[in-house]
Amino acid sequence: MDYLTFIQLLDSTVRLATPLLLACLAGLFSERAGIFDIGLEGKMLAAAFFSAAVAAVSGSVWVGLLAGIGASLALSALHGVASITFRGNQLISGVAINFLAAGMTVLIAQDWFSQGGRTPSLMGGARFEGITLPGAEALAEVPILGPLYAELISGHSILVYIAFAAVPFTWWLLFRTRFGLRLRAVGENPAAVDTAGVSVVGLRFAAVGICGILCGIAGAYLSTALQAGFVKDMSAGRGFIALAALIFAKWRPWHALYATLLFGLFGALETRPDVIEGVIGIKVQSQLLGALPYVMTVIILAGFVGKAIPPRAGGEPYVKER
């Protein structure tokens, strides 16, 4: 495998890891506050549809992004009301959101555009284009560093840079601010937080809201940056893979980045089976490579990557003592 092919493989890894990273960080905020959310898949799917649909109608990808975030926030609010206000089962609420999004997106898309559950292809200002960073073209011919900067670092859409910038921001917010301390405390011992005069319900709704925003950006990225439009079930299990990556990362932001890049690499290898063949000398079917992320998900959830201890109050509704 030559150097340029290696850089192209890493470039595909970054692009495919971006929605996983955003969804993983979304789940991190929610679960750190004690709210398990397996509805990440549904929120991404709803955001992908509404962002593409509104972008197609309005011609503005930024309006589409806001619509996608709004759709994800609406489902997050639904999950919050069910699991926080009414103290319902968080897992059932998440499953309901996934089913709701899967059916709703196709139904509305067919009624709106009559294209078999798809949206029209996005062009021009209706989708996110790659950004050429300063000096990328001038450095392109420089050995080693040129392709690294021009091909791997430069050329991504703004949502990719937002996703990677969200990692250190999440670390700072959770581990260096009072809000983050309280958020983590709510997931470990909500009674102690309540005793200190801090609203457990307010913090959990804030975490669910942040989760909705990040899922909205992840879904918008799928349909307006990674692809040029919405198709049925385009989230393709990424929400569940993000949850597996979150467990693999043990609910820590930097580890979430590494975990999602690993899953992104598996996805990139599916599109480049020639790379595997060149390395090991054996032709591998692309279908087998495509199954790698899901096989890895099963391995992680089965606990073969080490013991992962979730927040102690995770999944448990808080009932204030009187």
Q: For each successive 10 residues of the chain (322 residues), what is the average pLDDT?
A: 82 94 96 93 96 95 97 96 92 94 93 89 92 84 83 92 97 96 93 90 95 97 94 91 90 93 86 65 66 74 69 81 62
Q: Which CATH architecture has domain 3-127+138-301?
A: Orthogonal Bundle (1.10)
The helices-and-strands tally (H runs, E runs) of the chain is 14, 0
Query: Which pLDDT does position 278 carry in this prediction?
Result: 62
Query: Which pLDDT does position 1 carry in this prediction?
Result: 62
All structural domains of the chain with their residue ranges: 3-127+138-301
Query: Which pLDDT does position 280 carry in this prediction?
Result: 59
Query: Which pLDDT does position 277 carry in this prediction?
Result: 60
Single out the residue of 143, 138, 130 nearest to residue 7, CA to CA: 143
> Is residue 150 within 8 Å of residue 140, measured between CB atoms?
yes
